[in-house]
Structure 1
């Protein structure tokens, strides 16, 4: 519930900065329409006061929003680490399950070679047949949930940050 309140506050803050930008664009248009020949000191004073008000509103916006943005980023990073930890934990447990399935397959292969009853051999064959149809869990066919997932995610995140840095430094 707290995250919803933060999100709503952030959306409100975005709307406020959009409004301030629109006021500033309108101010620029008003200044552009001033005639050089027709020097009216009253209009210039009025325009300066409007500009002051816009910048004061932005200072108020900064004071209110910077704490909200800082909280959103801190909670976002904590939330990201929590989610990443859960993905790593699930990947590890899935990989352990896949290893256990492989061990069951190996045991059945070894035991089928020994002197076993027909019912035991049937059991081993059924297990081996089921293992041929076994597949790893995937995320809607996009990628497998296994031990390599966390490293692939870290590589993806690192590539994304490098891309962002390249755009930021251009």
Structure 2
């Protein structure tokens, strides 16, 4: 009962409750969409981090290989100048020649070289293109 002693407006209360229920359902739907978008965002971030880590590991492995081949060249040069038999010197010179001829840095279709700096260069390219796209989006 209200202050004047009359009956409450049950129809108005029912309409208000229905509108509240409808607003709550809209909120639930919006929250469901937001949580799905957040889940997709998290999945994309995890996927990107995984790829960056894998790229880094591949680059570090290739860099270790390049360093080992460079060290092989240096060691062979030092050993050739030492007192060795002719067969040993011939073998060392063959190793040096094969290293120079056959072993070069890996490149992907001539676009970029796979080494320790690859992840940094990829991040630089992604950041550059992201900035360019954002500039177009906000014009």
TM-score for the superposition, normalised by structure 1: 0.61
For residues 20-59 of structure 1, the aligned pairs below 5 Å read: none
For residues 13-162 of structure 1, the aligned pairs below 5 Å read: 62-133=30-101, 134-162=103-131
Q: Structure 1: which 5+ runs fail to align?
A: 1-57
Q: Once the 2 structures are TM-superposed, how far is the Cα of residue 126 of structure 1 from its aligned partner?
A: 1.1
TM-score for the superposition, normalised by structure 2: 0.73
- Larger RCO (alpha carbons 8 Å, 6+ apart): 2
Q: Once the 2 structures are TM-superposed, how far is the Cα of residue 158 of structure 1 from its aligned partner?
A: 1.3
**1:43-101 C-alpha deviation (Å, 9 max, x unpaired):** xxxxxxxxxxxxxxx98864443222211111110110011011011101110110110
Provide the C-alpha distance between the structure 2 equivalents of 1:162 and 1:131, rounded to a whole number of angstroms. Answer: 42
RMSD over aligned Cα, in angstroms? 1.9
- For these two proteins, the number of residue pairs brought into alignment is 113
Q: Does 1:169 align with 2:124?
A: no
Provide the C-alpha distance between the structure 1 equivalents of 2:45 and 2:95, rounded to a whole number of angstroms. Answer: 45
Instruction: Tell which structure's C-alpha radius of gyration is larger.
Output: 2
Name the structure with the higher helix share: 1
Q: Structure 2: which 5+ runs fail to align?
A: 1-25
